[in-house]
Structure 1
Amino acid sequence: MARPLICIDARYVRRRPSGIGEVVRALVEHAPALAPDLDFLLLKHPDAADPLSVAPNVAERLVRAAANGPATMWWLSRATDLSGVDLFHATANILPARLAMRSVTTVHDVMWLKHPDWAAKPGVRGKIDRAFYAHGIRRALRRSTRIATVSAATREEIATLDADAAERTRVTLSGVDTAFRPPVAGSETPHGRRYVLTVGQAAPYKNHLAALEAFALAFGDRGDIDHLFVQRQGAGAAALQARAVALGIEERVHVLGAVSREALIALYGHALALCHPSFYEGFGNPLAEAMACGCPVVTSDVSAMPEVTGGAALLADPHAPARFATQLRRIADEPALAMDLRDKGLARAAALSWRAFAAANVAVYREALAA
């Protein structure tokens, strides 16, 4: 009898880092070893490292079409041969059309359906993106044999849109790579001064201007503390720098752009705190990464942030920078609190295992195959 063949769309794994890319990378690293009775076909982006997996039950296939592009949405079965596949795992929110086999879709969040303005770029491109992602996510909710989500918060959001989809949804809680760990005692700080750190893309939902406002309220009178942003350069960086000038703190605000993983780990490990006032997250990788590096976290009291931090962070209303400022000031002024957050964060991060995440996905595969 032929072994079931699981096709995982791994095209988000690329040299350019992304949150979904980290999730998919962990899945393909662990799932084949956890399911030696299954065979896996990985759809791979041309920019990915070679190979994605060395497991004996894995084959890889190059697909040049974008993971979230028109060819994937409507004509994936023409872009690559999916004959013989028993289960297709769409890993990035949208479910391709015309799939003949059972399917699992990982819906990281439903922001494109509930709060599209927080995700979309301005202008015509934003309108196209709204329509595209809303169509793909609605298809995923309607037609996937099973739906996987990276947090219980996302499952709850799905339930507000489609009760039947929520019944088919399973939580596969994200993890954090073991490379993220506290710095060695005595290691040199990467910045030379004390600093607050904010990490993430310059999308409206990340609320980075509020992070800057909170920093100014907390430390505007303390010239020994800087604010570092790890954020892709572009219009978002320009807006931050313009606001920093208006606040009179431009010399203490630094937008670093993309950095290497090693540099990011060092930045987390030596930061005074991570300031993460996001309006909405499916999971929020920077939260887990910061906790794993021993960095105290101040984050929002909404969406998945309380769930991910699990009592190991200070929470505040993302619409109220003054409340974030109060929490940041507490960490700066109360060493015992900062140490307590560090210890709680390390314990929470230790419970966020990529292996457990992959095992949960394998369980979803087996359930979908049996459906």
Structure 2
Amino acid sequence: MTNVYLNGRFLMARQSGVQRVARRIVLALDDLLNEQPDINNKYHLVCPEGEMDISLRSISTIRLPSTGQRFEQASLPRACADGLLVNLANSGPLTHNNSIVMMHDAQVWTTPKSYSPAFRLWYKSVQPLLGRRARKVLTVSAFSADNLMSHGVVETAPTVIHNGVDHILDAAPEPDVLDRLGVTSRSYIFAFASAQPHKNTRLLLDLAKFSDAPEIVLAGDLPDNASPTENIIRTGKISDGALRTLYENALCFALPSLTEGFGLPAGEAMTCDCPVLAAKAGALTEIYSQAAIMLDPHNPKDWLSAIQGLANNPKERQALIDKGRKRAATLTWARAAETLRRIIGETLEADTAQRAAKAS
């Protein structure tokens, strides 16, 4: 029986989109293995020391007494030396040659100002090495695959596994968040704010300045020196249940990013029957153009016009909801896990064939 190890460092990192993707794929893979056991391979989640808030049935867990880079670059490769190592959160050990790595985007190269100098230096040093040493590189969109190729991070085209977006339905709605924020159903636009320049929060702040702009509910951090108008409502830290409620009750969701490797929040919104306005940028066009209103990320007037169109035309809004629901139904974590399991199986079958050829 062959050992398949999953790099569990994502459990100890701040839960950004990358860590959420890794967690959800592992959970979906565990469900798949529970329903369809793998009699040839044994799966293990290898974790650093510390609290571990993930419950698995078919994937065993291995705890190592280290954290951070020491865990990933020293303890992890030693513990996984006898098997295939799968890294789902951009990074992995440089000394483990029998590995698969998922790189979510190339934004350290395309939008360097969104990251600290230390982060840029580390990623620009490590990712090309991982890309060359990994047996297979995965990513989340054709756009990200092209960017990773064009910046020399990988030499051959990565295999695309689209993210799932159905996790948002696991959280029970929390309707009291509307009263807490002082908003009513269909009266506001929902969006995420970020200090990272490529998230383009400035467009939302400019949109709010129009006299006929609706209230805009923002989750996340504002850019430095931002001066939000009175119709900007900050959520503060919110739970997944509150997030679901805000999607379900918004007039629409706005995602004006200048680039995205996938754009997970747009899919979450579609899952919650919330119509989506998205920028014509990055992977957003590839993933969502058939189910969202696609707009110029530099023109807030276009966004206001689209918002007013949805507010004044319920049939148009409902048609967009229907398209979004249909698109979201194709983006599931179960499908992502099935694809990952197939890729792992193909990689291990290649090993078996190679050993058989050497023996003959």
Per the normalisation by structure 1, the TM-score is: 0.83
Q: Name the SS of the counterpart of 2:230 in structure 1.
A: helix
1:332 is matched by which residue type in structure 2?
A
The equivalent position to 1:116 in structure 2, one of 101, 109, 112, is: 112
The 3 A distance-change label for structure 1 pair 281 and 64 is: farther
1:270 aligns with 2:259: no
Partner of 1:41: 44
- Root-mean-square deviation (CA, aligned residues, Å) is 2.7
Q: Name the SS of the counterpart of 1:362 in structure 2.
A: helix
1:301 aligns with 2:280: yes
Partner of 1:123: none
Q: Name the SS of the counterpart of 1:251 in structure 2.
A: coil
- Paired with 1:89 and 1:161, the residues of 2 have a C-alpha distance of 23
Partner of 1:58: 60
The 3 A distance-change label for structure 1 pair 18 and 104 is: same
- What percent of counterpart residues are identical? 24
- Asked if the contact 2:47/2:61 (under 8 Å) is kept, the reply is no
Aligned length: 339
- Give 5+ residue unaligned stretches, structure 1: 121-125, 245-249
- Give 5+ residue unaligned stretches, structure 2: 352-360
Deviation at 1:112, TM superposition (A): 0.9
Note the alpha carbon deviations across 1:4-25, whole angstroms, 9 max, x for none. Answer: 1111112323595421222112
> 5 Å matches for 1:346-361?
346-361=325-340
The 3 A distance-change label for structure 1 pair 102 and 82 is: same
1:102 aligns with 2:102: no
1:171 aligns with 2:160: yes
- Asked if the contact 1:95/1:144 (under 8 Å) is kept, the reply is no
Note the alpha carbon deviations across 1:84-142, whole angstroms, 9 max, x for none. Answer: 4411112221232211x41111010011123212x21xxxxx21111111112211222
Deviation at 1:178, TM superposition (A): 4.5
1:221 is matched by which residue type in structure 2?
D
The 3 A distance-change label for structure 1 pair 163 and 128 is: closer
Partner of 2:201: 208
- Paired with 1:312 and 1:127, the residues of 2 have a C-alpha distance of 37
Deviation at 1:239, TM superposition (A): 3.6
Partner of 1:11: 9
- Asked if the contact 1:231/1:257 (under 8 Å) is kept, the reply is yes
- Asked if the contact 2:277/2:292 (under 8 Å) is kept, the reply is yes
- Asked if the contact 1:5/1:86 (under 8 Å) is kept, the reply is yes
The 3 A distance-change label for structure 1 pair 329 and 14 is: farther
Deviation at 1:309, TM superposition (A): 1.6
The 3 A distance-change label for structure 1 pair 41 and 63 is: farther
Higher mean alpha-carbon deviation, 343-352 vs 13-22, is at 13-22
Partner of 1:28: 26
Note the alpha carbon deviations across 1:18-73, whole angstroms, 9 max, x for none. Answer: 21222112221122415623212212352431x43121x4233256423xxx4356
Q: Name the SS of the counterpart of 1:42 in structure 2.
A: strand
Note the alpha carbon deviations across 1:245-295, whole angstroms, 9 max, x for none. Answer: xxxxx3211222321000000000001111110011111111111000011
Higher mean alpha-carbon deviation, 9-18 vs 105-114, is at 9-18
Higher mean alpha-carbon deviation, 204-213 vs 268-277, is at 204-213
- Paired with 1:18 and 1:163, the residues of 2 have a C-alpha distance of 22
1:337 is matched by which residue type in structure 2?
E
Moved over 6 A (4+): 181-184
Deviation at 1:181, TM superposition (A): 8.5
The equivalent position to 1:145 in structure 2, one of 135, 157, 164, is: 135
Per the normalisation by structure 2, the TM-score is: 0.85
The equivalent position to 2:83 in structure 1, one of 78, 86, 104, is: 86
- Asked if the contact 1:158/1:166 (under 8 Å) is kept, the reply is no
1:60 is matched by which residue type in structure 2?
I
Q: Name the SS of the counterpart of 1:13 in structure 2.
A: helix
- Asked if the contact 2:196/2:223 (under 8 Å) is kept, the reply is no
